[in-house]
DNA sequence: CAGCTATATCGATGGATGTCAATCTATGTG
DNA sequence: CACATAGATTGACATCCATCGATATAGCTG
């Protein structure tokens, strides 16, 4: 709260009365838990290499990519790519399907739209 | 790239020929610079307290809030709140206007829609 | 089963980040 | 001008995180 001095405690008029900076509104903000949960999704998107991973997966005709084709264009080690993919899966953005030796990653349908929904519902 | 052994180097048929995991597609992914720039926006959103700040500012009738009314509901120190607000301003999400003693923060019109646009344009 | 390959996991490490206390700057008041 | 307040900046510190090398796991092939 803004006090601005004693604010002419009992003064009847004058600009000092309007000197409080604003009305607090006291509407309930996002709860701590909800904010944390939503921040997790944005954390998953808050890395350039993860954005590039999503871009590649999304651009793939078949809708899915395997790790071995994601390692090279990002110029990152295979463990690092696996790490990023895991974060995207845990955020609910990517889906992982293992077929034989390879693991295929694809966008969860509607996941990015859901993120956009978080923004408009802030 | 996936090699899967010598892959029957000169063999004429059999499942081994189709054993490569996928076609690389080689479409140009998001450039490194672009990815970094977009990641900065998500980094700004990737903190629960910053999401709560946005929520409060957005819920304000007047469309703007001053720092003093943002410090209390978040239960954070004033320097920390100033720090978060600065990050949101630098990300182009909040607008800062100083009037007299107080600094008022408001959502940049369309900024959150732009973020949603980044997602759909990935 | 032995060996190879794709991928995941682990441990370590350097760098980024959130938070606070202290301080600085600017504005308003007497 | 002296003083108080709103807010920003600085420096320190603890924690988190991206990355890598080494290793483990799982599936294929002979």
Q: What are the Cα distances from residue A110, in Å, to A71, A107, B31, B77, B120?
A: 25, 8, 24, 38, 10
Tell me the two tokens of residue A38. 């939503």
Q: Is residue A106 part of a domain?
A: yes
Q: Is residue B116 part of a domain?
A: yes
Q: Is residue A24 part of a domain?
A: no
Stretch among A7-11, A17-21, A30-34 having the lowest mean pLDDT: A7-11
| Predicted local confidence at residue B95, as pLDDT | 97
Q: What is the mean pLDDT of chain A?
A: 83
Stretch among A74-83, B10-19, B24-33, B60-69 having the lowest mean pLDDT: B10-19
Residues B100 and A52: their CA atoms lie apart, in Å, by 44
How far B53 CA sits from the closest chain A CA (Å)? 8
Give the pLDDT confidence of B27-85 residue by residue, as tens digits.
Answer: 567 899 999 999 999 999 999 999 999 999 999 888 899 998 899 999 999 999 999 99
Q: Is residue A38 part of a domain?
A: yes
Residues A4 and A2: their CA atoms lie apart, in Å, by 6
CATH code, A110: 1.10.10.10
Q: Is residue B93 part of a domain?
A: yes
Number of domains in chain A: 1
Mean pLDDT of A25-52: 90
Q: What is the ipTM of this complex?
A: 0.86
Which domain covers residue A40, as residue numbers? 29-120
Contact residues, B window 5-44, toward A, CB-based 8 Å cutoff: 21-25, 27, 29-30, 32, 35-36, 38-39, 42-43
Q: What are the Cα distances from residue B98, in Å, to A47, A98, B61?
A: 32, 55, 19
- Beta-bridge partners for A97: A104
Q: Say what percent of chain B tops pLDDT 70.
A: 77
CB B67 within 8 A of CB B103: yes
Residue A12: pLDDT over 50? no
């Amino acid at each position: 709260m803004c006090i601005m001095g004693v604010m002419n405690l009992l003064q009847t008029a004058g600009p000092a009365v309007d000197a409080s900076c604003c009305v607090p509104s006291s509407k309930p903000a996002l709860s701590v838990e909800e904010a944390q949960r939503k921040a997790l999704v944005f954390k998953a998107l808050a890395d350039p290499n993860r954005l590039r991973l999503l871009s590649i997966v999304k651009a793939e005709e078949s809708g899915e990519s395997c790790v071995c084709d994601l390692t090279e264009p990002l110029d990152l080690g295979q463990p690092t790519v696996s790490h990023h993919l895991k974060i995207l899966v845990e955020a609910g953005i990517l889906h992982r399907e293992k077929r034989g030796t390879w693991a295929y990653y694809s966008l969860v349908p509607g996941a990015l739209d859901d993120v956009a929904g978080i923004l408009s519902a802030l």
